[in-house]
Chain A
């Protein structure tokens, strides 16, 4: 039955429009599927190659001798990555959040655009440049490679991520809340610390997690600054190992057993980064809901 003139047909769409609709739906699903292929492939491949290396020894032992490498582990890399990324986080997070607060709440004019420009330039700086910079500044000055230098090179990479992301989440906090707090007779800094930052809370945490995820996997700057170490090191002034560095080293050797350990290291890194990225995503979704 055809619709009478002047009324709107509410029946299902037919004919060419229907075909077009189906065509586009299929096309878009295919695109989404194609985008997922490389990610899934990498994940599956790394898991299949690396899962065999995961053992008690892998997580608890230092590397064994060349005769029986599979007896050893890379505990020194885990400890080292914790130390280096820890140092970087402790420095980059407060500085990054302070910069974000400045840009979102106070900054105007040249100073603010200057800081923002520096942050964006650093954000797209190749990580090996950050490594070379800290090598020249810290390693050469102190006379040796160290966890401290490694951490500082990661600060160069983490700071802009934290600064830019925290500026963005602070700007999402509605202006009405700032005015509400100011109208109660609260000073500006207290308005920021007690009302704006708690409201942005999870968003700020997301910024930190993204930065940590980035730092975890960096190899080049660590190579030039922390160097690596076959033993557990907890002295921030001494050369220190890191997981991505160990993966890089082992992947270049001809020893089959070490390749397997490298895959194991890659798997652990991938899992950690995925965990951080997914947590960040969940937190920021919750945050959106709360503000709205």
Chain B
């Protein structure tokens, strides 16, 4: 069972070749972590999975990213349609400053162009906020600006916003690296809850976090995959010496 699979993926920023022949598989109902030192291409890789990489000027991709068997870089594929089904949460919380908490949660639905009645919107907003574990904290202040929440709450609001459009895959690009330990823990618990229904890929530079939340781990170095396997194996009996050095904290 493969939800997302990359085949010999290469990526560039201008002439800078940042990903070399990357092969990754993400399975439904599981969390796949991408780990590695800063600058190894983790973020680039995850941004290739929903075609966000190409939003950067001069960025280029070669190879395939299969989503349910279809190459999302195929000629007749619309990146907008890809991103509807493969949602993403970024490193820094980015709620829309002009929108209320509820409007942020339902932004993807409201702006998608389909006509959804207001009551339905509110209902789906509530469902998304509940799924993101934020509902109880914001239910009495849905009309306040999203920017007034704490950093951790803002990040969960962004997760709710991504969930509301009902994607099948959720990409998390270091979702907790800008947050305090308590908020980080909440996000990690949330990832555990969400994996039942979604395929999750998470980038993290925090190895303990990868060990705690993921089922599969991919370790990268200088834009190449060093090792990819079940998290437990990667962290306890890795095949590659470099993986062992990294997960035991000898470098990175």
Contacts and interface: CB of A to CB of B under 8 A. Distances in A.
B83 interface: yes
A177 B112 contact: no
Interface stretch (B12-20, B21-29, B158-166, B230-238): B158-166
A180 B98 contact: no
A199 B97 contact: yes
A65 interface: no
Contact of B96 (A108, A183, A185, A195): A195
A194 B162 CA distance: 17
B122 interface: no
Interface string B141-171: 0000000000000000010011001000000
Interface string A142-180: 000000000000000000000000000000001011111
Interface in B40-58: 50, 52, 55, 57
Given A184-B107, A184-B165, A185-B165, A177 B94 contact: yes
Interface stretch (B85-93, B199-207, B214-222): B85-93
Nearest to B82: A185
A199 B92 contact: no
Contacts, number: 69
B162 A184 contact: yes
A185 B81 contact: yes
Nearest to B98: A198
A289 B67 CA distance: 42
A198 B90 CA distance: 21
Contacts of A183: 50, 52, 83, 87-88, 90, 162
A17 interface: no
A82 interface: no
Given A184-B162, A187-B80, A291 B97 contact: yes
B55 A186 contact: no
B80 A186 contact: yes
Interface in B154-204: 158, 161-162, 165
A182 B96 CA distance: 12
Contact of B108 (A176, A185, A187, A198): A185
A199 B94 CA distance: 12
B111 interface: yes
A215 B94 CA distance: 38
A185 B112 contact: yes
Contacts of B130: none
A290 interface: yes
B127 interface: no
A186 B112 CA distance: 6
A179 B94 contact: yes
Contact of A182 (B55, B113, B158): B55
8 contacts: A180-B96, A183-B52, A183-B90, A185-B82, A190-B111, A190-B113, A194-B111, A195-B111
- Top 7 closest pairs, chain A to chain B, by CB: A185-B84, A184-B108, A183-B88, A176-B94, A185-B83, A180-B94, A198-B98
Interface of B: 50, 52, 55, 57, 80-85, 87-88, 90, 92, 94-98, 107-108, 111-113, 158, 161-162, 165
Interface of A: 108, 174, 176-187, 190, 194-195, 198-199, 201, 290-291
Given A179-B55, A183-B83, 4 more contacts: A177-B97, A182-B52, A184-B111, A194-B111
